[in-house]
Amino acid sequence: MTAGRAPLVLAHTTAALLAAGCLGLTLWRGLDEPAVALAFGALVAVGELSRWSGIGEREPAPLGAAGALSYALLGQIAGRPTHHGVAQVVTVVLAAALAGCVPHVARGHRSTADHLTRRLLTVGFTAVCFQPVYRQAGPHGWGGPAYTLLVVALLVLTTLCDAVLAAALAHSRTRWPFGPLLRDELRARLGIGSAVCATGAVMSPAVAVVGLWALPVFSLPLLLTQLSYRRYAAVRATYRQTIASLARATEIAGYTPPGHARRVAALSLAVGRELGLSGPELTVLEYAALMHDIGQLSLVDPVPAGATAALPVEEQRRIALLGGAVVRQTGVDAEVAVVVERQADPYPEQPVSARIVRAVNAYEEMAREEAGPGGPLSALERLRLACAGDYEPEVVESLARVLQRDGLTLPTAG
Amino acid sequence: MGPVRPSAAAYVGCAVLGALLCVAPLPELPVPWSAIALLAALHAGCEQLPLPRALGRSRAGGSPTPPFGRRALEGMGTVYPVLLAGAFLLPPAAAAFVPLPGALLARVAERPSWLRRGWRAARLALAVWAASRVHWSLGGRDAVAGPHFPDALLTAGAAVLAFCLALTALDGGILTLAERVPARTAWRGLFLRSLAPVAVHGLAGLMMAVLWRSPYGPVTALLVLLPMYVSCWVFAQYHRERAAHQATIRALVQAVDLKDGYTRGHSERVGQASMMIARELGLHDRRVEVLRFAGILHDVGKLGVPTRLLRKDGPLTPEERRIIELHPEYGHEMVRGIGFLGEARSAILHHHERLDGTGYPYGLRGRQIPECARVVAVADAFDAMTSTRSYRRARPVAAALRELERCSGTQFDPAMVRALIRALDRHGWHPVVTAEEERGNAAPPPALPVAGQPAGRVPGGGGA
């Protein structure tokens, strides 16, 4: 337990030390160019205020990130050199981010500490790499396209470090495998992350040429991006709700017991993570698990207790094919339909997601059948014995690990 | 789109001629050819950039989008900043040349392709020329080169306004001539709708121009395009997801269709009639959309009714009828978790209530029944009467309306019935999926009224 949390403690301690040191140094030396500091601080604070924790949102405050990065990369303003150092950059970003976080903390969002840690460490890293080098070269040593290319390279490096940091923090919080988490973080960086980097890289030369006018002008396109992302996330959330409702159709029609689809989806997701599936694969898995029983709607009479795992194989396949036909009409990824269709095939012929859905579904049905504290254990035992052809041993083992970790309880139906 | 009308072709011809006149002084001008070439190549590249396509939008989107208005703004995320940067950097004739190669090389899906390519190129060239002309005459060139800042913003704002006006005027003209849209509808809203996005693109273009002129050079200016492209890409993703979502809503209905052969065509038509009533009542667009979904999903609770009962061949016992009358509550239970449906959820729960309080499930009366439920109840009964069922023929629309009027006050809200009658007077009744079509590809229909109600009685949608 404590070993798993080591990266978390380490990151938080480093960020706290960095913040305290920079704050002390700045207090001792005083602020250089307070107007510029105030303008960038306001930008970061506004960015943080508009922060938003949605589903799959990797960079919740793109404007705050871009503002902080561009302050770290600022060497000139309207043609005159600036004099702020690393300590001042970190202090300004810290103060602004703290101010912007107040409403979020008041509303009880839990991720604020991690968010601040990441912001401080990445900004500190960028400033430490950039400011001393820039000061050494002098105001005329840099300029032109070479400057931009160097800045872009530095930002790419920063982004990579940030992705590693984010994955490490998520890993120590959730104990999901590190590799897939890192892969998902990196993939997410391609979208909003690249927009943030480009804005950060462009904002500092623009301020160097134009002065502080560049800040509002440059914030606008990024704000537009942020808005698009929110609408996208909102429609994704609604979409998920609709799929979940469609999945409940079988429960309301009396074909499956209440909460079955949701429990199978939650357990399948946990097993999928344990097996190292990536973000998009997990989405496919979740949708398929939610809708795996939908073929039963075509049956005139319900299967007793909705227990398809006990049916003859031919009947199982028929229901699976009917389900696939319904899923194909829903407009979800065709892969979801494939998983639903193949859920009754022998496991060597199945895609991984279908193996997971099959094993988890069987487990859920068996565990329910045998009420009482021994139910889950004996269900696992029966799955292990049946491994020969139906359920893949690796999937069953990771299901066992997931169950052991979560205390052998089923996710409760709500 | 059919063949191009001669007047539209003449209009395009004039536009092309105008564009040529704009570009004509180019050979005599001392212009930076390398900048023109770079911007033109950039524009051509942006035109070719792949974006995720929205799938099945025409079906799922509901209202057809005008061919030049909306689509133009979605796809132009990176194109407009490049063009406007050109307008801010170059003299008018040179700026007008920038869009030509890209527009002429771009792929065109519909025929006649050369006419369309010519139109696109001329349209952009004329608009960019107008923007550049305004910018030039206000002295924006020096403001950008300076850079002198509040001035540069003002001149750029004026140029963006000119750009937007030129585009609106040209688009409105082609809509009137080629698509026979009445002139007033063609221009209405076109300008205001496009001004905000074009203004954001204009700011990006201004920043590109300023950085282009600065010691940091064109390479830095290119980075401005990245956030614009990402934004545009996400926007396209949003549309794709939205279309998928609407397909899923329909899948909910199709799931009912598996059990009860009538439901799908009926659901779509009830959605359409609800929407017509809502429009006629002057409801806000959002509520109209919600009511369409309420109509489409009103019978989704039939999923909870045993299939044997829905397909039962013969009269229903009181016990069986009671089970069928549970379907509004099942439906509400199903869609409870879908946040965006809003008041459509109460419409699903209450669409079998009657004004005199004898309906189900709660026996609400009068104003206690939510407004949206009263709308769906009328739409449901109307479609149930005007579509052919296996147990009776469809009634003519006029007869159905007479029947609705007869029952208004006791069963239906008179305001909704009147709204339906007015809407039908104005637009007629053109159902999206007719009952006959539906019969062709649906499961074998039940031989008797599903809810077991005699054909003569106004079913209140119960027979659907």
Half-sphere exposure of A86 (CA within 13 A, CB side): 20
Q: Which of A144, A224, A245 sits opposite B231 (nearest CB)?
A: A224
* Both structure tokens of B174: 């082609």
Higher pLDDT, A152 or B55: A152
pLDDT for residue B455: 34
Whether A244 is in a domain gets the answer no
Please determine, for residue B349, whether its predicted confidence score (pLDDT) is greater than 90.
yes
- Closest CB to A241 among B228, B307, B337: B337
Is residue B168 over pLDDT 60?
yes
Across the interface, whether the CB atoms of A254 and B304 are under 8 A apart is answered yes
Please state, in angstroms and rounded to a whole number, the distance separating the CA atoms of residues B274 and B379: 5
Residue A412 counted as domain residue: no
Which residue in the set A192, A202, A246 is minimally distant from B224, CB to CB?
Answer: A202
Select from A217, A245, A332 the Cβ nearest to the Cβ of B335. Answer: A245
Q: Name the pLDDT band for B462 (thresholds 50, 70, 90).
A: very low
CA distances to A163, B64, B195, B385, B420 from B428, in Å: 59, 18, 35, 16, 10
Look at residue B57 in the predicted model and tell me its pLDDT.
32
- Tell me the C-alpha distance between B39 and B25, whole Å: 19
Q: pLDDT at position B71, please?
A: 42
Closest CA relative to residue A91, chosen from A109, A75, A71 = A71
pLDDT at B130 (0 to 100):
93
The pLDDT assigned to B452 comes to 31
Q: Rounded to an integer, what distance in angstroms lies between the CA atom of residue B48 and that of residue B53?
A: 13
**Residues paired with A402 in a beta bridge:** none
Residue of B nearest to A328 (CA): B251
Interface with B, mutate which of A190, A222, A239, A336 (most B CBs under 10 A): A239
Residue to mutate among B55, B155, B212, B220, with most A CBs inside 10 A, is B220
Peptide bond into B446 cis (omega under 30): no
Q: How far apart are CA B405 and CA A14, in angstroms?
A: 76
Give residue limits of the domains in chain B.
6-236, 260-441
**Residue B200 in this model has a pLDDT that exceeds 70:** yes
| Cβ atoms within 10 Å, residue B215 | 15
Instruction: Using pLDDT thresholds of 50, 70 and 90, give the confidence band for residue B378.
Output: very high
Report which DSSP code applies to B108.
-
Query: Closest approach of chain B CAs to the CA of A7, in angstroms?
Result: 32
pLDDT at B348: 92
Per-residue pLDDT at B350: 93
pLDDT band at residue B240 using 50, 70 and 90 as cut-offs: confident
Residues of the domain holding A313: 253-405
Residue A28 shares a structural domain with residue A132: yes
- Are A239 and B252 in contact (CB < 8 Å)? no
Calculate mean pLDDT across residues B29-55: 75
Q: Do B147 and A210 touch (CB under 8 A)?
A: yes
What's the pLDDT score for residue B261? 66
Q: Quick check: B147 contacting A, CB < 8 Å? A: yes
Residue B450 has pLDDT above 50, yes or no: no
The answer on pLDDT for B446 being more than 60 is no
Tokens representing A361? 């579904």
Whether A306 is in a domain gets the answer yes
Question: pLDDT tens for residues B383-433?
Answer: 988 887 766 778 888 899 999 999 988 899 999 999 999 999 888 888 765
Yes or no, beta carbons of A194 and B252 under 8 Å apart: no
d(CA A245, CA B293): 15
**How far B225 CA sits from the closest chain A CA (Å)?**
9
Contact B200 A221 (CB under 8 A): yes
pTM reported for the whole predicted model: 0.74
Assess whether A212 and A351 both reside in one domain. no
Q: For the domain that residue A317 is a member of, what is the CATH number?
A: 1.10.3210.10
**Which residues of chain B are within 8 Å of residue A242 when distances are taken between CB atoms?**
245, 248-249, 252, 338
Give yes or no: residues A74 and A186 share one domain: yes
Asked whether the beta carbons of residue A242 and residue B237 sit closer than 8 angstroms, the reply is no
Say if A247 falls within a structural domain: no
Residue type, A378: S
Q: What is the pLDDT of residue A180?
A: 82
The closest CB to that of A206, out of B211, B243, B247, belongs to: B211
**Are residue A230 and residue A299 in the same domain, yes or no?**
no
pLDDT at A32: 82
Residue B442 vs residue B91, higher pLDDT: B91
Residue B233 has pLDDT above 70, yes or no: yes
**B457 or A125: which leads in pLDDT:** A125
% of chain B beyond a pLDDT of 90: 16
Residue at which a domain ends, from A209, A236, A263: A236
Place B267 in a pLDDT band, splitting at 50, 70 and 90.
confident
Whole-number pLDDT of residue B159 = 92
Cβ contact, residue pair A252, B307, below 8 Å: no
Q: How confident is the model at residue B451 (pLDDT cuts 50, 70, 90)?
A: very low
Question: Is A1 domain-assigned?
Answer: no
Chain A positions touching B442 (Cβ under 8 A) are none
- Sort A410 into a burial class: Cβ within 10 Å, 0-12 / 13-18 / 19+: middle
Q: Is A413 a member of any domain?
A: no
What is the rounded CA–CA span in Å between residue A329 and residue A341?
13
Q: Which of A195, A210, A236 is the last residue of a domain?
A: A236
Segments in A3-33 forming alpha helices (H)? 6-29
- Chain B interface test: which of A209, A215, A250, A290 (most B C-beta within 10 Å): A209
**Given this model, what pLDDT does residue A109 score?**
67
Task: Give the residue with greater pLDDT, B390 vs B21.
Answer: B21
Which of these, A48, A70, A75, lies nearest to A60 by C-alpha position? A48
Output the CA angle B275-B280-B283, nearest 5 degrees: 75
Is A252–B55 a contact, with Cβ atoms under 8 angstroms apart? no
DSSP A334-396: HHHHHHHHGGGS-GGGS-HHHHHHHHHHHHHHHHHHS-STTHHHHHHHHHHHGGGTTS-HHHH
Same domain, A224 and A257: no
Q: Treating both helix axes as pointing N-terminal to C-terminal, what angle do B113-137 and B79-89 enclose, rounded to 10 degrees? A: 40
Decide if B334 and A332 are in contact by the 8 Å CB cutoff.
no
B226 and A CB contact within 8 Å: yes
Cβ neighbours of B338 in A, within 8 Å: 238, 241-242, 245
Residue numbers of chain A with a pLDDT score lower than 50: 1, 54-56, 408, 410-414
Among B448, B461, B60, smallest CA distance to B299 is for: B461
Residue A241 maps to a domain = no
Q: Which pLDDT value is given to residue B419?
A: 92
Among A211, A236, A261, which residue terminates a domain?
Answer: A236
Give B-chain residues touching A327 at CB under 8 angstroms: 251
Handedness of CA A357, A361, A362, A367 (dihedral sign): positive
Number of domains in chain A: 2
B408, β-bridge pairs: B412
Higher pLDDT, B70 or B308: B308
- Asked, for residue A399, whether it belongs to a domain, the answer is yes
Chain B nearest-CA residue for A233: B238
Find out if CATH 1.10.3210.10 is the number for domain B260-441.
yes
Whether residue B159 contacts residue B202, with contact meaning beta carbons closer than 8 Å, is answered with: yes
Give residue A110's pLDDT: 64
